[in-house]
Structure 1
């Protein structure tokens, strides 16, 4: 499977903008430069998993980022989790 860095970059940019964070602020939080952030968002630079995880945490996009990483649409992920989590929790209480 070949990673589509332009698609990942668009996702990163969307998360950053939705969190109302500028490229400069993101660079500061990630101990990077505004230029590096711009390259990540345009797909001209690859992102490592640690930076990706930090980006998701900073933008509070952990759920959406994880769902997209596994190729799930957000609506499908929410539907799946809303069905699975109650069954899991219910099973845990019956077990206890």
Structure 2
């Protein structure tokens, strides 16, 4: 499977998370590097893109949920996701 195809599948999965965040009055923005990171972590040569959904849950959804519970993000915030030191980073978009 091509990297671009994985990114497109990842975008679809991430858009579902973004929709849920919109319901909580928050926006989600990912850098190209973050999408590439998720595509890489969520790809398996045998299973293709099947592990991608789990990777998005583990690397994105769970970490965002914990950050919200810690009070790092609030209603009206835009959460910007990028890659720093070979892992995802989460910041308020300014």
Q: Whose relative contact order is higher, 1 or 2, with alpha carbons under 8 Å and at least 6 apart?
A: 2
Which protein is richer in helix relative to its size?
1
Which protein is richer in strand relative to its size?
2
Structure number, greater radius of gyration: 1
What is the TM-score with the length of structure 2 in the denominator? Answer: 0.32
